[in-house]
Structure 1
Amino acid sequence: MVVKETLRLYPIAPLLIPHESTEDCIVNGFHIPKKSRLLPFGSGRRVCPGMQLGLTIVKQVIAQLVHCFEWELPRGMLPIELDMTEEFGLITLRAKHLLAIASYCLKI
């Protein structure tokens, strides 16, 4: 659930192809103003066929990163000092990037 919620809030890539109306139009009785944006998605049989594989791979990669590395904040920074503010738009981004120092912890 944590992985799915993280991917929902912070998608890996923004919309690859912009879906934006170039002029005012009416679709099925609904007025669509110029510059309106569409967020296309599918469900049921039309959902992305690679979604399950992608979620499995992401979970495995996160598990390996947590298992193989010790993670620290830079220069003795405390977790309370992290800036978790977000910028809103078509996708939600963090206002400031997270900087973490990873050190390999497994014996070779």
Structure 2
Amino acid sequence: MKISLLVEEKITKPPVKIFAEENNIDFRQPTNLKEEGLLNFLKSKQADLLLVFAYGHLVPEEILNIFKMGALNIHTSLLPKLRGAAPIQRAIINGDKKLALAS
């Protein structure tokens, strides 16, 4: 499988950006997913699948519709119990005995 684009929301240089640079993968860090030009840029990549991991915002439907195979959103906790930011930390604070991976 060829990775053609990675997107990250943080302002600092995150590990995903370092990975993209080391592997010559196009990288974008939009302030929001409705940023001007982003939709056309994503269409130009002609990617089949969108993978979303630890992204704290809803992905707009017009972006989801670009990908032939759809999208897969990975969340590192039980849903809906631990939806939102910092689910692992909240599970620890809550004293939960089990964690989960939801998609």
Shorter-normalised TM range:
under 0.3
Q: TM-score, normalised by structure 1?
A: 0.27
Q: TM-score, normalised by structure 2?
A: 0.28
Which is higher, the Rg of structure 1 or of structure 2?
A: 1
* Higher fraction of helix: 1
